[in-house]
Amino acid sequence: MSDIVFTRRSGWIPSVIREGGGFRLSLGAGADANHEPRTFTFPIGEAHLEVIREDLARHLLLWSAVLPLCDAAGTRGPLDENAAVALLDPVLLGSPADVDAHFRTIRWNRGQLVAHGADTGLLDRGEVCAAMRTATETADTARAQEHHADRRRAERGVVLGPLDAALLKYTGQYLHGATIPKRTPGDVDPALLPEAMRVVATAEQACAGLRIGRDPRRGRRATDKRDWQRMEAAVEAAVRRAHPGLADDAVRTVSFLMCSEAANRSRDVPMDDDDLADGGSPEGARKTALTFTDDRGAEKKWVAAGGTATAEFWEFVEDCSPAADEVFTIEDEQRGEGIQLHFYADSIARITTAREGGGGADPAYRVEYSLVDGIGGYRKLVSAFVRGGCAALDRHEPWFSDVADFERARRARPVT
């Protein structure tokens, strides 16, 4: 059994307990294999208890020095008690100069000290005792997180100005650059918010009329990479031109916000509406049925009484994409024609019946190939075929009937 001898209001700061007739410092740190918090203890003397009780700064410094030992224990290893006990006299009983010198020789947890009010400038200079003159018993975790984010940026040579920081806070990316951006004006200093909103307005004007479509080849929520890059480049160029003093991190976070919002809008638009936005037209005139297939044996029939053919075809592609299918076909059996999409090669083939079979002879087919410019090109060709069959693809030149000529054209195409 153990009794608590001394504890502070903040539950995570180590407490002193009495156990087996002596004092031990008890702290929670790390987690076990089941993600439950681990508790470590090690013996201390009466002199150490007195300092812990009377001196918050030394108490916090000891905590900072012990935490790396807890990390080293991992999910189930024991605390190195000898190493922990060896910290007591130097940290709690040494002179400020000796404590500063000792901290230059050990690992210690900077984040906890910053969260409890340490002067970061003095910490940078190695004056840990002086830095803790501003220590508080309650923790400000947001302060520690921001400080950690600033140090990560400093390691990359990035220094943010006030407006740069305001923009990163506006998008919610100040602490974590990989966070999906969102609009959080309440996190911005009110004095800087109007200027931040002018930058955002510049970005919104730059991408007006641009859109980011979906890429069904990569799943239901995938977006068109080229559309994204196009919008990203337009926004970044406009923002840099209008606000030349901004750091790259700030410019990128604004373009990331614009692209993410555009991509989210496209996910809520049915694929047939998406095609109409690209200049297509309704497919109500189509009367013949279509058959969709992939290269793994999946098949789907479309009839005029159902939804639009383009929407159902791209839904079919989305459904098959987890299997990494690379070839899809749309066939109109009644007309004797179809198209085959080769996603692995950014190409398409159109197949038309040149001669009907009969009298024991097989039908003859004419096969022509063309290069395709990304998912946007595929969507235009699919829409054109659905509306008007292979004849509607004539204007999408050039078409190659000779495979060797097509391969030469494919190899000569610039890599994007």
266-323 tens-digit pLDDT: 887 766 544 444 444 444 457 789 999 998 889 999 987 767 899 899 999 988 887 7
Whole-model pTM: value is: 0.74
User: Could you tell me if 172 and 238 are in contact, meaning their C-beta atoms sit under 8 angstroms apart?
Assistant: no
Q: What is the mean pLDDT of the chain?
A: 90
Residue 52 carries which side chain, given as an amino acid letter?
Answer: I
The CA R_g of the chain, rounded to the nearest whole Å, is: 33
Sign of the four-CA dihedral 375, 381, 385, 390:
negative
Which pLDDT belongs to residue 416? 60
User: How much of the chain exceeds pLDDT 90, in percent?
Assistant: 70
pLDDT of amino acid 273: 47
Distance of CA 156 to the CA centre of its chain: 19
DSSP three-state, residue 23: strand
Model confidence pLDDT, tens digit, residues 117-154: 999 999 999 999 999 999 999 999 999 999 999 899 98
